[in-house]
C-alpha cells in the first residue's frame, strides 16, 4: 500500500510541476527542457512499470476472488448432494450411512462458508485496488500529455530561440554596416585623394612661379646690359642709337665683320706660301 501511495504521490508531483517556474530558474532553458523531457520520459517508464505491477496484483486478487466464489459454489453443491444422499439413506432405513453423508454435508458447508468469507474479505481490497489503478492510469495519461506538451513547447522555444539568435545576428550585421558605411569610407578616401591632388598642384604652382621669376630676372638683366652698352657708346662719342639706324648699323657692322674676316683669311693664306 505504501508503494502505491508513493507512485501516486510521484505522479501527482510530476503532473503538477510548474514548467514555467522551472524554466525561469534555469540558466540554459534549452538544456533544462531537454533534461525535463528525459526526466519525464524516465519517470513515465518507471510509473508504467509500477502501474503494471499494481494492475497485475489486482488481476491476481480478482482471480483469487473469482476462485473463492467458484469454490463456495462448488462446496455448496457438494453439501446439497451429501444432504440429499443422507435423506435418501435415512428414508431407506440406513441411519449410519445417512449420518455419514450428513457429516459430509456439514464439511462441505464449512468449506463453502470459508470460501465465501475469503471472497467477501477480498472485495474491499479489490475495490480499493481498482480505484488506485484507475487513478494511476489517469495520472499516466496526464503525464503522457504533459510530456507531449513539454516536447512541443521545447521544440517551439528552441525554434524561437534560434530565430531570435538569427535575427540578432542580422540586426548586428545591419548595425555594423550602418556604423561602418562603405560610402563613408569611399568619401573619406576621395577626400584624401583631393587633398593629395591639391598638394601636388600647389607644389607645381610654386615651381611655376619660381621659373617665371627666374626668367623675369634674366629679362631684367638683359635690359640692364643694353642700357650699359648704349651709355658706354654715348660716352665714346657715338650718336644716339635710333630704331632704324640701329638696324642699318647692325647690318653694316655685320658686313664689315664679314669683310674683315675675308681679309684676315687672305693674309693667313699668303703667310702659308
Domain segments of the chain as ranges: 2-180, 181-237
Mean pLDDT of the chain, nearest integer: 75
Specify the DSSP class assigned to residue 27: S
Assess contact for 122 and 68: CB atoms under 8 A: yes
Spatial separation of the C-alpha atoms in residues 82 and 103, rounded to whole Å? 8
Split at pLDDT 50, 70, 90, the class of 116 is very high
| Long-range Cβ contacts of 147-150 (<8 Å, 24+ apart) | 147/37, 147/40, 147/41, 147/44, 150/19, 150/33, 150/36, 150/37, 150/40
Specify the DSSP class assigned to residue 181: -
pLDDT at 2 over 50: no
**Interacting residues of 150 by C-beta distance below 8 A, sequence separation 6+:** 19, 33, 36, 37, 40
Residue 186: all three cell numbers together: 569611399
- 1 in helix, strand or coil? coil
Query: Which pLDDT score, from 0 to 100, does residue 123 have?
Result: 92
Query: Which pLDDT score, from 0 to 100, does residue 155 have?
Result: 84
Residue corresponding to grid cell 502505491? 4
Spatial separation of the C-alpha atoms in residues 244 and 224, rounded to whole Å? 21
pLDDT at 32 over 50: yes
Question: Sign (positive/negative) of CA torsion 219, 220, 223, 224?
Answer: negative
Q: How far is CA 71 from the centre of its chain?
A: 70
Residue 216: all three cell numbers together: 623675369
Q: How far is CA 84 from the centre of its chain?
A: 89
- pTM here is 0.48
- Tens digits of per-residue pLDDT, 180-209? 555 666 777 788 888 888 888 877 776 665
Assess contact for 20 and 32: CB atoms under 8 A: no
Q: What is the mean pLDDT of residues 12-17?
A: 53
Closest CA to 147 of 41, 30, 46, 51: 41
Assess contact for 45 and 14: CB atoms under 8 A: no
Q: How many CB atoms lie within 10 A of CB 79?
A: 20
Assess contact for 103 and 59: CB atoms under 8 A: no
Amino acid at each position: 500500500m505504501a508503494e502505491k501511495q508513493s507512485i501516486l504521490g510521484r505522479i501527482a508531483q510530476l503532473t503538477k510541476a510548474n514548467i514555467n517556474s522551472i524554466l525561469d530558474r534555469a540558466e540554459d532553458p534549452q538544456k533544462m527542457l531537454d533534461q525535463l523531457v528525459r526526466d519525464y520520459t524516465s519517470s513515465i517508464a518507471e510509473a508504467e512499470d509500477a502501474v503494471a505491477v499494481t494492475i497485475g496484483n489486482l488481476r491476481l486478487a480478482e482471480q483469487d476472488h473469482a476462485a473463492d466464489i467458484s469454490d463456495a459454489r462448488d462446496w455448496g453443491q457438494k453439501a446439497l448432494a451429501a444432504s440429499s444422499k443422507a435423506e435418501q439413506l435415512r428414508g431407506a432405513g440406513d441411519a449410519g450411512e445417512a449420518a455419514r453423508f450428513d457429516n459430509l454435508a456439514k464439511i462441505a458447508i464449512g468449506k463453502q462458508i470459508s470460501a465465501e468469507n475469503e471472497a467477501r474479505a477480498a472485495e474491499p481490497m479489490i475495490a480499493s485496488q481498482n480505484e488506485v489503478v484507475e487513478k494511476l492510469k489517469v495520472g499516466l495519461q496526464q503525464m503522457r500529455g504533459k510530456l507531449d506538451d513539454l516536447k512541443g513547447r521545447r521544440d517551439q522555444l528552441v525554434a524561437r530561440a534560434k530565430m531570435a539568435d538569427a535575427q540578432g545576428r542580422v540586426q548586428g550585421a545591419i548595425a555594423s554596416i550602418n556604423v561602418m558605411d562603405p560610402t563613408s569610407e569611399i568619401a573619406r578616401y576621395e577626400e584624401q585623394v583631393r587633398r593629395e591632388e591639391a598638394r601636388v598642384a600647389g607644389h607645381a604652382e610654386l615651381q611655376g612661379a619660381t621659373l617665371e621669376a627666374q626668367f623675369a630676372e634674366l629679362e631684367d638683366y638683359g635690359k640692364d646690359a643694353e642700357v650699359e652698352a648704349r651709355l658706354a657708346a654715348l660716352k665714346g662719342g657715338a650718336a644716339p642709337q635710333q630704331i632704324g639706324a640701329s638696324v642699318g648699323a647692325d647690318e653694316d657692322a655685320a658686313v664689315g665683320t664679314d669683310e674683315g674676316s675675308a681679309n684676315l683669311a687672305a693674309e693667313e693664306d699668303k703667310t702659308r706660301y
